[in-house]
Each structure stands twice: as C-alpha cells, then as structure tokens.
Amino acid sequence: MTEAALNAPVPRRLRIATGDLLPILTVLLVIVAVWYLGAIRMNASWERDQAARAGIELTLPDLIGRTLTQDRPVLPAPHQVAVGLWEGVAGQPVTSRRSLVWHAWVTLSATLAGFAIGTGAGILLAVGIVHSRSMDQSVMPWAVASQTVPILAIAPMVIVVMASAGITGLLPKAVIAAWLSFFPVLVGMVKGLRMPDAMQLDLMRSWSASRPQQFWRLRLPSSLPYLFASLKVAIAAALVGTIVGELPAGATAGLGARLLSGSYYGQTVQIWAALFAAAILAAALVALIGAVERVTLKRMGLTQ
Amino acid sequence: MSVIEAQGVSLTFQTADGPVHALKDVNLTVRPGDFVSFIGPSGCGKTTFLRSIAALETPTAGRLRVNGMDPDAARRARAYGYVFQAPGLYPWRTISGNISLPLEIMGFSRADRAARIDRVMELVELSGFGGKFPWQLSGGMQQRASIARALAFDADILLMDEPFGALDEIVRDRLNEALLALWRKTGKTIGFVTHSIPEAVYLSTRIVVMSPRPGRITRIIDSPLPPERPLDIRDTPEFIALAHEVREGLREGHSYD
C-alpha cells in the first residue's frame, strides 16, 4: 500500500455512481474468470492421474466439474473459498475453534495491542526527534535499520526470547506487530510535526510561547493529517506482523495459525478462507481509521 | 522618552558565499505614538530591522532598546504585537479562538480573554464574526482578525511586516483607512514595513527610506500631513510632493552598478 494511494481523496460516503459500476464489475468478472481458469488448469493433472489409474476416460465437462469440487485442490475455486469463508464465519458458534470469527478475534486483539504500542512509540520517538537534534541523528538511522531486517527473521527470535522469559500469548505477537507499525507513524509524525512554517513558529516566539505550548497548540494539531495517513499504513502493517508472529510459534489460535495448520494438512480451502478473512479484516480496519480521519479533519477545517 | 532606539545597529549573516550585511550602522529613534513606515527595495533590511526589534533576529553589533529594555526582555514584557503578511490563523480554531490563542499562552483568565476578544473584534470591525472559521472569511477580514490577535494583549507597539501586501488594491485602501482610524483611537506606536510608496506616505508620521547592500537608512522623512487623513488626501499637492521625496530617497540609495 503506497503513501500516494492513502493520500488520494476519498469520497465523503462510499457511494458508487452508476457510471462507475460497469468498469468495477468488469474487473471483478475478469478476476473471477481468470481464477476459475487457473483452478481448472492447476487441478486438472491430479484428476487425469486419478482417471488414468481407474481406467476411465474423462470428458471435458466431467474434468471441469471434478476440478472445481476437489476436497484438497491445488487452487480452490472462488465458490469453494466463499463456502469455506461462510462456514468459518456463520457455520460455527463464534467460540468454536473452527470459527474464523474466533480466530480473527485472536489476531485482531494482538493487532490492536501492537498497533497501540507501535503508534505510541512512533509518536514519542517523533516528538523526541523533532525537539532534539541529537535524537534526530541517533534514533532515525536505527529506526530505518529496524525495518530493513526481514520480519520473518525477527519474529521467531522475539517469540523464543519472550517465551523463555515466560511471556507467551498475545504480547509477543503484539511486539512483532508494533515492530512493523511504529515506523510509518514515526516517519509521518516527524514530517507532520515539522509542518508549521517559519511564520507560524515566529508568531509563537513573538508571544514567548514555551515549547510545550508550541507543541500542543501548533505542532500537534498541524500534524494530524500526516498522523492519520500513517495510521492507515500502520494498522495494516500491524495485522501482517501479528499473522507472521502466529506462524513460528506453532500457535493454535489466530488467522496465522489457520494458515499454518491449513498448509500442514493440505487444506487449501482453509488457507484461502483465512487469507480472505485477514484481507477483509485489514480493509475494515483501514476503512475505520479513514472514517475517523474524515470526521476529525473536517471538523478541524483541515479539509474542505 | 523613546519607544524604540537603535544606535549603530548592524546585522551580518554568515553564508556560504561570505558575509551578508543585512543591516549596517542603523540609527533611529521612534517616539511614542509614531507611525513609522520602513520602505525600500528587497534586501534593504527593512524586515530584518523589524524582526530585530521583535527579538526574532539578534543584531551582531550596536545597541537596540525597546521600551528601554533589550528586545528579548521587551518581548517577554509583551511590548509588541506582530502582524505578518499572511494572517496565519489556525483553521481548527474559530476567529475568537484564534484571537484567544496568545491570551491563553500568556495565561489570561477565561473571563478576561472573553472581554478582550470582544473589545479588539470591535476595534477591527469584526464583531459578530467570532464564531466563524477562518475559511469562511475573506482575505481582508482574515488579516483584520490577525491584527485583532496582535492587539488583544495590549502591547503598546504594533509591528507589521507588509500586512496588506497580499491583498488587492481596493481591500488594501479600505484596510489602510481602518488602520489609521485604529491608530488614532489607540495611540499605539506602529512600525510598518511596505513596498508601496503611496501606502507609506498615506499612513506614516515618519517614513524611513532604506537601501540595500549593505542594508541601511538613507533618509528619514517627517510627514507634514495631518493625522486626520481621508483617502482623497492622496490627490493633494502635499501628498504628491511627499511621495516624490520618498521616490527620490529610494533612487539615491539605489546603485545600479
């Protein structure tokens, strides 16, 4: 997700004009069609082998029908994923271990905890960097360096180290989520807190304003558009971090665990259903922040 | 008693291309209630001098006193209000809220703030607009709000750096008239930086003509015009003669070598 995409103007309400409906549906149809063709193609060789072993000759309609109804397809067809997703969400009590809602909640709680830690850390570091030249020079390189290390390499270490200290469950995952989510907040807030121009700062000086007064009354409100843009990147990053954190632990709960167990047992439908659940969750979180952003910035007169 | 006193004030910026003499040996005494305009081409140091009075720049040599104090102490004593070319109002605050800002920073009580906001809004003829947000007001009204903000804490000096430079001619005339009325009513000492000869002549009791490289004062002209100045005073021979004198001062300070 790029910065430009996040800063693009968002319509007040997600109202789709009728003129836009045709291209949107066309793109959706093309994707679904390509997906079906891919599923048929990728699942066909197994069906042919089966048929050859049983000594049956498969007609093309037969072959297509079978490739789209396999129990463990290489690539499940869209309707199989939809059914998997529906059964995971609506077909189980939400407290069940087979419920995607339950797994999504486990992931969501760690995501929100990590997002809160990361956002807090990002803002605090940004405040320090804006107010202290030496912090600017000493902290920023480490922050950048932290993001160049692959999270897949860091995650198992965090899990193992924290487990050896007796900390398991939500917190290690939240730490990994925070690791990914503090950075966009840090970068956005450093930029945002530096937004007031020289004239605004001179005005503050002419009133002999203290640094805290300058911060609360000028720098912080000015930075909010940047904060919201970076929060949208951060929450998506926190979700990715949490899911990655659920992989190495051999965890039994969370969307990451569903991905992992799905791959152990060849349950591709389960993998895809979990993937879609994660994507829907991320979209919902980003949309939620976007809604808060629109209301806040409009009330502050920062967007017209 | 002088409000602003400059003796041999110089200010040199060190740049990669060597030192730049923004101000060189500036001597000026401003009396209480003076309306002093600083006029000159870009780089003549008029803004730098105003900023030095406000302690936003620090002279590298000479003696500068504001209300008998050094500029830093004068600022802490709320000696001046500063108006910039742009209104610089906060979009998230109403007009009242913007005028309230310096008062909050200076620690005035809530009741005192409300009374002061009412008074200065009336002074700049913005009564009734307190609940509006800046974007709901025209550019001229926004600039009036920023003048109200500078007046709210009762500084006796008003420093204005091309406050009407970004406005169109008609609005500018109107605001010049209003500013003169405000000056007569409040008796403030005003330091006013401008590019415009008619504006300087129309407003000032004294016109300080400056010239660049190094930034210095070339002429100080006392205005013979009466304090009461309708807009059509600009067609009188006295006005035209004064404008001519300012133009000559600008020309003699300007070398084209």
Interface of B with A in 11-70 (CB under 8 A): 51, 54, 56
The distance of B250 to chain A (nearest Cα, Å) reads 28
- Listed residue (A142, A134, A236, A216) closest to A186, CA to CA: A142
pLDDT tens-digit readout, A212-247:
999 999 999 999 999 999 999 999 999 999 999 988
User: How do the domains of chain A map onto residue ranges?
Assistant: 13-75, 100-300
Please indicate if any CB of chain A lies within 8 Å of the CB of B102: yes
pLDDT tens-digit readout, B40-79:
988 889 999 999 999 999 999 999 999 989 999 999 999 9
Per-residue pLDDT band at A72 (split at 50, 70, 90): confident
Omega cis (within 30) before B212 = no
Per-residue pLDDT band at B254 (split at 50, 70, 90): low
What's the predicted TM-score (pTM) here?
Answer: 0.82
User: How do the domains of chain B map onto residue ranges?
Assistant: 4-79+155-252, 89-154
Percent of chain B with pLDDT over 90: 71
Whether A249 shows a pLDDT value over 90: the answer reads no
Contact B81 A205 (CB under 8 A): no
The distance of A301 to chain B (nearest Cα, Å) reads 5
Looking at residue A1, what is its pLDDT? 41
Looking at residue A92, what is its pLDDT? 84
pLDDT tens-digit readout, B143-193:
999 999 999 998 999 999 999 988 888 888 889 999 999 999 999 999 999
The amino acid sitting at A66 is R
Q: Rounded distance, CA B148 to CA A61, Å?
A: 82
Please indicate if any CB of chain A lies within 8 Å of the CB of B81: yes
Nearest by CB to A207, which of B84, B106, B135?
B106
The distance of B93 to chain A (nearest Cα, Å) reads 8
Q: Rounded distance, CA A51 to CA A64, Å?
A: 13
pLDDT tens-digit readout, A111-167:
999 999 999 999 999 999 999 999 989 998 999 998 888 888 888 888 889 989 988
**What is the mean predicted confidence (pLDDT) over B240-255?**
85
CATH number of the A100-300 domain:
1.10.3720.10
Contact B81 A206 (CB under 8 A): yes
Beta carbons of A162 and A175 less than 8 angstroms apart? yes
**Probe site for chain A from B90, B93, B135 (most A CB atoms < 10 A):** B90
Whether B105 shows a pLDDT value over 60: the answer reads yes
Percent of chain A with pLDDT over 70: 93
Q: Which CATH architecture describes the domain B4-79+155-252? A: 3-Layer(aba) Sandwich (3.40)
Looking at residue A303, what is its pLDDT? 76
